[in-house]
Structure 1
Amino acid sequence: MISIKHIITSLALLFLFKGVEAQNKNETALKDKINGIIKKMTLEEKINMLHGNALFSSTGVQRLGIPELTCDDGPLGVREEIKRFDWASANWTTDSATFLPNGSAIAATWNPVMANKYGVVIGEEANARKKNIMLAPAFNICRMPLCGRTYEYYSEDPYLNGQLAIQSVKGIQSQHVAACIKHFAANNQELNRDSVNALVDERALREIYFPAFKAAVQQGNAYAVMSAYNKINGYWCSENDFLLNKVLKNEWGFKGVVMSDWAGTHHTVAAANNGLDIEMGSSGPYDQWYFANPLLEAVKAGQVSVKIIDDKVRRILWLMYHTSISTNHPKGSIATPAHTKAAYDIASESIVLLKNDEHLLPLNTRSIKSIAVIGDNATRTFALGGYGAGVKAKYEVTALEGIKSRFGKTAKISFARGYRANYLANNTDAQNSGYDQPDQKLISEAVALAKTTDVAVLCIGSNREYESEGHDRKSLTLPFGEQALVNAVSAANPNTVIVIMAGAPYDLNEIKKLNHTIVWSWFNGSEAGNALADVLKGAVNPSGRLPFTFPVSLNDSPAASLNTYPGKDLTADYKEGILVGYRWYDTRKIDPLYCFGYGLSYTKFEYSGLGTDKNSYQSGDKITIRVKVRNAGNVAGKEVVQLYVRKINSAVSRADKELKAFKKVMILPAKTSIVSMSIPVNDLAYFDTQLHKWIVEPGKYELLAASSSADIRQVTSINISK
């Protein structure tokens, strides 16, 4: 007798087959249409499509109704409109957009749903501005904490990066706008970024630096990839056959377009033959760019085949049929209430509670009648600043404004600046001299105010000038003499909440030792101040978790410890291999200041009953894991359940443990949630550089359910058979 379950399963498989069949027919029809267009094009028309014709566009073919391809920055939101041929503002009045939390803030949510929300907002606002490609998301691995773009990237872990990148891409492309994932690959420092040669062994590339890109291509179906400025193993990324042809296009089956970073193309023939499709941002007359007249001459000379040119045009047209000339193309919208809500949701889930020893937080509005808000960052906005893409935000709620809106009816709110952030990214070191010195006059004013209030909220950290594309920080030290301010204000008022706004790790050793309440915020978008105030008030239970390790000392980090940063003779040897981030600290038994995945809550979570569906597995299987998580407090909260895997007695060198799954769950007070996660056995493989393939090593593995990389709550083990 046939069961109902069997019938339902059969129908589901039938519908799935029909769906795949229809999709294949559509792809075949599109391929035929594109090939038909290419046959009508002259060689000159094809080549004109392969390079920029303005700062943020490339040429179409008007004769055949092919529009130009437009793109725009960037990872923080759709940037303001600039002039067609220079970087000056176009002075539009309709290009104010939503400023979205920075990349490491999105990673700190540990929530792919938030990454998807981010992507949808980007896509809708890009459509409103008629942009076909958004140069986002950016998710290079945080190898070096000093990197100037750490704030823009996601995390130090390839799995976390991948899960967030997939959803960012899907969100953007749900609006028929191409996501351009960047920067492929190993763009891990800004110092000498356009000339450094990164020496990275293939195992490290495959296990650390490639996985998020692979996931974004194969699971997110990204339409565009941007090549990085640097070299990898001796070859520019924009003309790297291994990266662009062998791995990206052939192995991963990437169908879309590879575009250069701006002024990141170096040669004509090498770039054309080795996988670059569109050249952007080069200097000089457009018809003299590498992919303009020089490419035409190279084709005529037989150095580049017409077949290769046709493949590039085919990819561009494929992207267009999924974006600018797609059917049912959304109209888009910009800076809407829904976008505001998305920015708030992301920001409120990103804030990390680092310390709350005296349980000062959440602030009790019934007993607190006066609050001193101190620090330049309390009134600073972060949508613009430094080099690289910013957003002409329609509005941005500062910390002071947020605190006034949430506490102003019950408490007197006063402000003191406390320090002077006198640093500009485009200044020389000599011009910025003295930026790290405290301002005693401002400190005295802050102390005088703090003495008169019930609570002091001290807003310090960095800003978009100090953390910027184009340069790296020189140390982990807090800038602007902030430590002196912290010491003075904390001594004046023991009820001081330290709020740090930054996008990358800093030296918090003294603050951690002396202060009992520390909150980490970010460059957190248009709703930053409201989200922060709601966390301070307890309207939001903090659920952010650190996306990277904070070292006790810079010399504890792998690149610094091995003296491979910034490199010798423009060569950075990635000697640490696969031991990046927590993998390094855990394997080398180095205690960090704050570990990967760390973050506190206003409640407590208890773990129990970790188990798997079987005891033994083989390649191709899927491991199903369940663990019980109980909210043992009296406040509803979200817990990030992290699952790490450790190979016991491995025959090859491995990290102590690796993140292989995670899930963020909301649990009500005194309630228990059964959290289920799955891991494909093949995800436990290492890359064998001798055999050039992935190997699932048989034997015993430990599964570690954790609240952070250092806080292991439950352990179980499984066996993988040959």
Structure 2
Amino acid sequence: MTFGNTFRSALKAVVAAAPLLAALSTTTLAQPAKPWLNTTLSPDERASLLERELTLDERVSLVHGPMALPFFFPGGKLPDGALPAAGFVRGIPRLGIPNQVESDASLGVTNPMGVRPGDFATALPSSLALAATFNPQIAYDGGAVVGLEARTRGINVQLAGGVNLARDPRNGRNFEYAGEDPLLAGTLVGESIRGVQSQNVISTIKHYALNGQETGRNFANSVIDEQAMRESDLLAFQIAIEKGQPGSVMCAYNLINGAYACGHDFLLNKVLKQDWGYKGYVMSDWGAVKSTDFAMKGLDQQSGEQLDKDVWFGAPLKAAVENGTIPASRLSDMSHRILRSMFAAGLFDTQAPKTYDAVRHAAVAKTEADEAIVLLKNEGDILPVAATARSILVVGGHADAGVISGGGSSQVTAGPDQLVIAQGGEGPMAMFNRVNYHPSSPLKALRARLPDTRIAFDTGLYPEEVARKARSFDLVIVFATQWTGEGEDVPSLNLPHGQNALIEAAATANPKTIVVLQTGNAVNMPWLSRVPAVIEAWYPGQEGGAAIADVLTGATNPSGHLPVTFPASIEQYPRVNLPGIDAGPTELFDVVYEEGADVGYRRFAKLGMKPLFPFGHGLSYSDFSYGDLKVSGGNTVEVSFTVTNTGKVRGKDAPQVYLNATPGGKAKRLIAFSKVDLAPGETKTVVLAADPRLLASFDTASNNWVVAGGTYTVAVAEDADDAGITGSAQVKAQRLKP
């Protein structure tokens, strides 16, 4: 009886409450089940909403991950959801957090050791070649190619954006970077990153910072004072980060002033996150983490964890948070930064495309190669190839097979028909010591463009045989190569495999000998006075053979300019002996950057040295003149000038604006540049303004950029050695935030 009354009372209560319950139910259903999926919120707001839902174990899971190559796992079985590639961080399905699938690099989507059989990608020219274009639009377009091709493969973190300044012309990875000038490197790398991320892929910027050589890269201590660092390498990173907004910064292997880059409180916490207000996350380079306390020093994620002595950001980090050694708030900040970058790049909100237009992407690679090739010398206008040249001997460089590319983690496989020559060696990078030729043969391209010309080929193995043949041809074109790669520096600026002797032999036998260089660095040219023409083609990517042939024949008017100084000899550089070359395998050693902020052409100008070819140098089949210069001041220097094509063919020019003098005295610094396309006789007006930081010095006491008030003199010039046309303006004294 009592039960019946109770039941009836309860039923009445339920019926009475039904409208309210229905209303509450409707309200609940109307709300997003996962509020962080609300795309009207900012990435920071979304990351905050999601991060607070994470458990301790889930937070820890986001801040470390393995190198995702099969030979690191028992039976070759990768974690579920992983792609054979550089790295993997498992997502959290219950919260809708996607996996982080990471791949190298700036030049295209890599397939290391062919772990994804049949997976080929567009191979762009080297980053040093990109810098030679002086064209930010080309950088963006190439980045978009890489980003789209990554996304179609399920890759959402691309390890791109190399911006370390070329302080030593022997650095094995200079080809992955963008030259010796902070403005040029920062601008083009920033645009490349922006292009990658336009495809809903996180891009890194790397390797932060002062990673200036491969010799002993895990033990090299870069020694440099703060002011010099801020005005050179750090400024390149700062400009690129401002322009590209990369989701992640990858720290380097080396030490800086005694502290490892991935555990560098000053560089990571003070400069990057505090002074620059960087909101993304810092990931380590693979095998660059030494301890769990790197988390307190600014590192947010441990990458390639098997390469470290411990998974420092796994169980040890969890224990440190539980015992209070590392505050829980710091781990929350680490996971928040990662989630924030994932939201900013659209990883939660977009579906990966299934395909891309490979033909269009190849055209992007060709355009980049076209504008990257630098005509260094053209005596007597021997180029483009004379119409009267009825016979040409092509020599060396495997020009019959393709064009060379740089080695290491950035190596892109463009197709199945590649010539690959193993170099041998020992150590962890030995597997990458393979010279890879993209199957774009300059020899075949020349024959296609010159069907009525007799074109023969000689491998160049025997200089005396080349000399014998050379005498009977109208022209000789020698292809010379210098292979460089990750993990080692070149010991000399000389071309390897006796190629200097080969060029000498050819030039002695036939004075109409042209040299085409494919190199990752500046090289010595002891034969320069003996040859009338030299082309620097860098590592020109999968369309490089066609691009070289087009420049040689005049189908393309060369417009590349040197992003690095070509020295007369290594004696012109501050470190003649490569630091650490004789150090023990685990011996720490110093790399003293005594030149400070005067990297490359700035040091040449300061000491009055004459290089073989100056920074910014590049010839054309046309001629250009500058005029009508107007310089205005105020908070910065702004210049207006005209560029006129005074030649007979259409061409592109790269006018460069240099700071020649400040109120403090003489100076030399690139403060602006442009790329202008002009028909014969055409004139265009160019207006450029300098970033005020390029006029300033960095004051470490006040932690500010300081622009001195007074007269600033600038020159619009063809290169760093060209006097150009000059003008001056008054700039106001000011202080700028760091």
Distance 1:542 1:718, change over 3 A: same
- Which of 602, 612, 622 matches 1:603? 622
- The correspondence for 2:448, drawn from 401, 405, 408, is 405
Question: In 1, distance between residues paired with 2:702 and 2:659?
Answer: 24
Q: Which runs of 4+ in 1 moved over 4 A?
A: 25-30, 380-385, 563-569
Give the corresponding residue for 2:18: none
CA shift for structure 1 position 680: 4.1
Structure 1 position 73 matched with structure 2 position 73: no
Q: Aligned partners of 1:173 and 1:33: how far apart in 2?
A: 19
Task: Indicate conservation of the 8 Å contact 1:636/1:666, yes or no.
Answer: yes
Query: How many angstroms does 1:449 deviate by?
Result: 2.8
Query: Which residue, out of 459, 463, 483, partners 2:479?
Result: 459
Determine the structure 2 residue equivalent to 1:424.
none
1:175-190 equivalent positions in 2, closer than 5 A: 175-190=199-214
Distance in 1, matches of 2:124 and 2:149, equals 12
User: Separation in 1 of the partners of 2:579 and 2:488?
Assistant: 17
Counterparts of 1:347 and 1:37, CA distance in 2: 44
**Structure 1 residue 90 corresponds to structure 2 residue 90:** no
1:699-718 matches, cutoff 5 A: 699-718=710-729
In structure 2, distance between residues paired with 1:307 and 1:382:
51
Aligned-partner residue type, residue 120 of structure 1: A
- In 1, the alpha carbon distance for the partners of 2:691 and 2:501 equals 50
Deviation of the 1:317 alpha carbon: 1.3
The structure-2 alpha-carbon separation of the partners of 1:661 and 1:522, relative to structure 1 and needing over 3 Å to count, comes to same
Residues 620-659 of structure 1: pairs in structure 2 closer than 5 A: 621-650=635-664, 656-659=667-670
Deviation at 1:504, TM superposition (A): 0.4
In 1, distance between residues paired with 2:559 and 2:43? Answer: 45
Q: CA deviation at 1:387?
A: 3.0
C-alpha distance after superposition, 1:59-102 (max 9, x if no partner): 2223323222111011221011x5xxxxx533422x11111000
- Aligned counterpart for 1:472 among listed residues 486, 489, 499: 489
Q: Which one-letter code corresponds to 1:90 in the other structure?
A: V
Say if 1:352 and 1:544, in contact at 8 Å, map to a contact too.
yes
Larger radius of gyration: 2
Give the 5 Å matches for 1:190-209. Answer: 190-209=214-233
* 1:669/1:122 CA distance change after superposition, 3 Å: same
1:415-430 to 2 correspondence within 5 Å?
Answer: 415-419=457-461
**Residue among 300, 316, 331 paired with 1:294:** 316
Output the CA distance in 1 between the equivalents of 2:406 and 2:725: 44
1:372 aligned residue (381, 393, 399)? 393
Q: Percent identity?
A: 35
| Counterpart check, 1:122 vs 2:146 | yes
* Count of residues in Structure 1 that have an aligned counterpart in Structure 2: 652
Provide closer, same or farther for how the CA distance between residues 32 and 580 of structure 1 changes in structure 2, counting only shifts above 3 A. closer
Which residue number in structure 2 is paired with residue 677 of structure 1?
Answer: 688
For 1:582, give the aligned amino acid: Y
SS in structure 2 at match of 1:559: coil
**Alignment-mate amino acid for residue 408 of structure 2:** Y
Task: Provide the aligned C-alpha RMSD in A.
Answer: 2.1
C-alpha contact 1:559 1:565 (8 A) present in aligned 2: no
Give runs of aligned pairs for residues 270-281 of structure 1, distance below 5 A: 271-281=294-304
Instruction: Show the counterpart of 2:382.
Output: 360
User: Matched residues in 1 for 2:513 and 2:307: separation?
Assistant: 55
Could you tell me which residue of structure 2 aligns to residue 144 of structure 1?
168
Matches within 5 A, 1:292-691: 292-323=314-345, 325-329=347-351, 331=353, 333-334=355-356, 336-365=358-387, 367-381=388-402, 386-394=407-415, 396-407=439-450, 409-419=451-461, 442-463=462-483, 467-508=484-525, 510-560=526-576, 570-612=589-631, 614=632, 616-617=633-634, 621-650=635-664, 656-691=667-702
| Secondary structure at 1:535 match in 2 | helix
Q: In the superposition, relative to structure 1, how do residues 289 and 411 fare at CA in structure 2: closer, same or farther (>3 Å)?
A: same
Indicate the SS of the match to 2:660: strand
Report deviation, 1:388. Answer: 2.6
- Residue of structure 1 in register with 2:9 after alignment: none
Between stretches 580-589 and 211-220, larger displacement belongs to 211-220
Query: Matched residue of 2:667: which SS?
Result: coil
Structure 2 residues not aligned, in runs of 5+: 1-37, 69-86, 416-437, 734-738
AA of the residue aligned to 1:707: E
Is the CA contact (8 Å cut-off) linking 2:130 and 2:368 kept in structure 1?
A: yes
Instruction: Report the Cα distance in structure 1 between the residues aligned to 2:227 and 2:698, rounded to whole angstroms.
Output: 5
Aligned-partner Cα distance in 1 for 2:664–2:307: 55
**Secondary structure of residue in 2 paired with 1:608:** strand
Number of the residue aligned with 1:14 = none
Matched residue SS, 1:656: strand
Deviation string, structure 1 residues 83-139 (Cα, Å, up to 9, x no partner):
xxxxx533422x111110001100011111111111011011111111111111211
TM-score (norm. length: structure 2): 0.85
Amino acid at match of 2:443: L
Q: Deviation of residue 455 (structure 1)?
A: 1.4
Structure 1: how far apart are the matches of 2:231 and 2:581?
A: 22
CA distance in 1, matches of 2:569, 2:54: 59
Amino acid at match of 1:123: G
Is contact 1:78–1:122 with CA below 8 Å preserved after alignment?
Answer: yes
C-alpha separation between the residues in 2 aligned to 1:393 and 1:548?
Answer: 27
User: Alpha-carbon deviation of 1:546?
Assistant: 0.5
* Structure 1 residue 50: Cα displacement: 0.8
AA aligned opposite 1:482: Q
Does the CA-based 8 Å contact 1:384-1:392 persist in structure 2?
A: no
Corresponding position of 2:20: none
Cα–Cα, structure 1 residues 386 and 119, in superposed 2: closer, same or farther, change >3 Å? closer
Match of 1:228 among 252, 272, 278: 252
Distance 1:31 1:478, change over 3 A: closer
Helix, strand or coil for the counterpart of 1:560? coil
Pair 1:186–1:380, CA change in 2 (3 A): farther
- 1:201 Cα deviation (Å)? 0.6
Contact 2:133 2:561 in 1 (8 A): yes
Q: Deviations over 1:191-230 (max 9, x none)?
A: 1111111111111111101112112222221111100101
Q: Which residue of 1 aligns with 2:35?
A: none
Q: Give the secondary-structure state (helix, strand or coil) at the position aligned to 1:403.
A: helix
Q: Give the conservation status (yes or no) of the 8 Å contact 1:645–1:658.
A: yes
Runs of 5+ in structure 1 lacking a partner?
1-24, 83-87, 420-441
Residues 380-422 of structure 1: CA deviation (Å, up to 9, x unaligned): 5456664333111136312212212222x12122110003xxx
Aligned partners of 1:626, 1:565: CA distance in 2, in Å?
Answer: 47
Distance 1:521 1:385 in 2: 13
Kindly state the Cα deviation for residue 322 of structure 1 after the two structures are TM-superposed: 3.2
Aligned to 2:51: 38
Secondary structure at 1:547 match in 2: coil
Q: Distance in 2 between matches of 1:53 and 1:155?
A: 31
The 1-side partners of 2:731 and 2:485 are apart by 46
C-alpha displacement of 1:649: 4.7
Q: CA deviation at 1:299?
A: 0.9
Distance in 1 between residues matched to 2:707 and 2:580, nearest whole Å: 33
Q: 1:461: Cα distance to partner?
A: 2.4
Shift of 1:328: 3.9
- Distance in 2 (CA, whole Å) between partners of 1:27 and 1:248 is 28
Distance verdict in 2 for CA 1:221–1:639, change over 3 Å: same
Counterpart contact for 1:377–1:399, Cα < 8 Å: no
Q: Is the 8 A contact 2:481 2:495 kept in 1?
A: yes
Distance 2:42 2:491 in 1: 55
The amino acid across from 1:276 in the alignment is L
